[in-house]
Amino acid sequence: MLEQMVPVTIRLDRNMTFVGFELSAKISDGDAPTLEIQLGYETLGDSTEDDFPEVPEATDVTAITDPAAVDQFWAKFNTSETE
């Protein structure tokens, strides 16, 4: 699968400004299940304050202040293992 190419279409407007991209492919390799990728991104203009969620209340936020706990969080966050 690592040797196969995934085609990417990059979209630009007439001023050559990036407006989006798309990728779509089915990748297979022997007995492995086929991996189907379909992803798109489009710019819709400048963002406004209404495009962002409000800051959560302090009671809705859990701060991790212990450096070891922060490292453990990111190690777990970046793994593909499930519990």
Tell me if 79 is assigned to some domain.
no
* Helix/strand/coil (H/E/C) assignment for every residue in 22-45: EEEEEECCCCCCCEEEEEEEECCC
Residues in the chain where the model's pLDDT stays below 50: none
Report the pLDDT value the prediction gives residue 3, as an integer from 0 to 100: 75
Report the pLDDT value the prediction gives residue 48, as an integer from 0 to 100: 92
Tell me if 16 is assigned to some domain.
yes
Tell me if 10 is assigned to some domain.
yes
> Residue 35 belongs to what domain range?
1-44
Tell me if 19 is assigned to some domain.
yes
Tell me if 53 is assigned to some domain.
no
Tell me if 5 is assigned to some domain.
yes
CB of 57 closer than 8 Å to CB of 50 = no
Task: Return the structure tokens found at 2.
Answer: 């690592």
